[in-house]
């Protein structure tokens, strides 16, 4: 056997160093961004404490009046930063969006993976992927111009009529901008990625297993429900977590169709909302005029909470995936 030359050994060392650096960049970025946002939030954490998470009012205070000092932090008089409506807005709009997007995506993916073949399939697939490439501001515009009036005139009254016995679903559709509109726009933005991923997953289900189900006299739906979906469950959970994270972080579209709800929790599906991301974008300008900088720090803490929430959802998804693959592995070992 040929002994490894010095040159190839050096090359290998270089390769390891570079690969190690590349592999650690995601972690590095995550840590750096997290630390920066955390440090930036400290003044507000001291000023507001837990009330940041539980307060309902967000008021930059009288920026041209007196300053007050609390816990060693100076702030404009009357300033208070209660992020609960935005946390709720973020969670409500993204969860609702996922509740709409998951069934739609799974059904579309099933059709793309199993029902259509040849050119129809490629055209459909391309359309879905094109949808994924539309900038969010276009979705926002569409939500304002098309979806808003439709909610006011058709969807809102219909929901009131059919599901109005549920308090959360009863109420005036207002301007058509709000929680429902945000959820629909977010769903539309998540559907393409979720559909494409689910389709790829479903195509990986060995035909052998599907035929096993068909041969046993299962209907198409039973084959999908009992064989295909369980088979792709792990991947699906991952895709849903990614899509959810995206929906929570989406800024522009929600800013346009959320109705800029402030200082109140949404009490119906039609209430105006703001999400953490949209508030950051929306408020940054006025926050910069705060001489104490506390308003900017408050937005930083909002970013921190958003990051933590996204991480938690991803982590939960990971645990779910690990648990299901662990039971499978344990079974194999036994």
Partner 1 sequence: MGQSLHVRDLKAWYGNHQTLRGISMEIPENRVTAIIGPSGCGKSTFIRCLNRLHETTPQGRVEGKVQLGDADVYEMDAVDVRRVIGMVFQKPNPFPTLSIYDNVAIGLKLGGMRDKSAQFERVEQSLRMAALWDEVKDRLHRPAVALSGGQQQRLCIARALAVQPNVLLMDEPASALDPISTARIEELVLSLKENYTIVIVTHNMQQAARVADKTAFFLNGELIEFGDTTSLFTRPQDNRTEDYITGRFG
The residue (of 29 and 209) whose beta carbon lies closer to partner 1 is 209
Answer yes or no whether residue 26 interacts with partner 1 by CB under 8 A: no
Q: Which of 9, 16, 153, 226 binds partner 1 (CB under 8 A)?
A: 226
**258: its two tokens:** 């959320």
Least distance to partner 1 from the beta carbon of 106, Å?
A: 16
Answer yes or no whether residue 211 interacts with partner 1 by CB under 8 A: yes
Which residues neighbour 300 within 8 Å (Cβ) at sequence distance 6 or greater? Answer: 37, 40, 41, 44
Answer yes or no whether residue 331 interacts with partner 1 by CB under 8 A: yes
Q: Which of 216, 291, 312, 319 binds partner 1 (CB under 8 A)?
A: 216
Stretch that binds partner 1, among 84-92, 99-107, 230-238, 260-268 (CB under 8 A): 230-238
Least distance to partner 1 from the beta carbon of 235, Å?
A: 13
Rg of the chain over Cα atoms, rounded to whole angstroms, equals 25
Helix axes 294-333, 84-110, angle to 10 degrees: 40
Answer yes or no whether residue 49 interacts with partner 1 by CB under 8 A: no
Stretch that binds partner 1, among 46-54, 88-96, 205-213, 293-301 (CB under 8 A): 205-213
Least distance to partner 1 from the beta carbon of 314, Å?
A: 24
Binding map of partner 1 across residues 74-113, x = CB under 8 A, - = no contact: ----------------------------------------
Least distance to partner 1 from the beta carbon of 328, Å?
A: 6
Give the C-alpha separation, 108 to 125, whole Å: 10
Q: What is the dihedral of CA 184, 185, 187, 189, to 10 degrees?
A: 170
Least distance to partner 1 from the beta carbon of 113, Å?
A: 11
Q: Which of 65, 103, 135, 212 binds partner 1 (CB under 8 A)?
A: 212
Terminal Cα-to-Cα distance of the chain (whole angstroms): 42
Give the C-alpha separation, 237 to 316, whole Å: 10
Q: Cα angle at 245 between 20 and 262, to 5 degrees?
A: 135
DSSP states of 156-200 as a string? Answer: HHHHHHHHTTSGGG-S--TTS-SHHHHHHHHHHHHHHHHHHHHHH
Answer yes or no whether residue 325 interacts with partner 1 by CB under 8 A: no
The residue (of 59 and 200) whose beta carbon lies closer to partner 1 is 200
In 68-143, alpha helices (H): 84-110, 118-133, 136-142
Which residues neighbour 57 within 8 Å (Cβ) at sequence distance 6 or greater? Answer: 80, 82, 263
Q: How many residues sit in the footprint of partner 1 (CB under 8 A)?
A: 25
Answer yes or no whether residue 65 interacts with partner 1 by CB under 8 A: no
Task: Give 56's strand partners.
Answer: none
Least distance to partner 1 from the beta carbon of 322, Å?
A: 16
Answer yes or no whether residue 213 interacts with partner 1 by CB under 8 A: yes
In the chain, alpha helices (H): 6-48, 51-54, 84-110, 118-133, 136-142, 148-150, 156-163, 179-203, 207-215, 220-223, 229-231, 233-249, 252-257, 276-287, 294-333
The footprint of partner 1 (CB under 8 A) covers 117, 206, 208-209, 211-219, 222, 226-227, 230-231, 233, 327-328, 331-334
């Amino acid at each position: 056997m040929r002994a490894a030359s010095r040159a190839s050994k050096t090359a290998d060392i270089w390769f390891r160093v570079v690969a190690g650096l590349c592999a650690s960049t995601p972690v590095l970025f995550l840590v750096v961004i997290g630390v920066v946002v955390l440090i930036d939030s400290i003044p507000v954490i001291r000023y507001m404490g837990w009330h940041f998470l539980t307060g309902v009012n967000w008021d930059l205070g009288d920026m041209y009046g007196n300053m007050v000092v609390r816990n060693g932090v100076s702030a404009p008089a009357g300033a208070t930063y209660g992020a609960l409506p935005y946390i709720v807005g973020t969670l409500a709009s993204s969860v609702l969006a996922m509740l709409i997007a998951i069934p739609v995506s799974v059904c579309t993916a099933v059709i793309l993976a199993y029902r259509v073949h040849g050119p129809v399939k490629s055209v459909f697939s391309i359309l879905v992927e094109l949808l994924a490439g539309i900038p969010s501001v276009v979705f926002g515009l569409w939500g304002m111009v098309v979806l808003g009036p439709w909610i006011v005139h058709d969807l809102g009254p219909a929901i009131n009529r059919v599901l109005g016995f549920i308090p959360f679903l009863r109420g005036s559709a207002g301007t058509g901008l709000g929680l429902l509109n945000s959820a629909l726009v977010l769903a539309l933005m998540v559907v393409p990625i979720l559909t494409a991923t689910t389709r790829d997953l479903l195509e990986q289900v060995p035909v052998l297993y599907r035929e096993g189900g068909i041969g046993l006299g299962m209907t198409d739906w039973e084959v999908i429900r009992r064989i295909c979906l369980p088979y792709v469950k792990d991947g699906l959970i991952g895709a849903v977590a990614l899509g959810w994270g995206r929906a929570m972080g989406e800024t522009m579209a929600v800013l346009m169709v959320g109705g800029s709800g402030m200082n109140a929790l949404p009490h119906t599906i039609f209430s105006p909302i703001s999400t953490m991301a949209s508030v950051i974008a929306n408020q940054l300008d006025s926050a910069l005029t705060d001489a104490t900088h506390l308003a900017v720090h408050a937005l930083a803490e909002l970013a921190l909470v958003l990051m933590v929430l996204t991480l938690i959802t991803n982590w939960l998804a990971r645990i779910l995936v690990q648990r299901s693959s662990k039971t499978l592995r344990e079974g194999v070992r036994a």
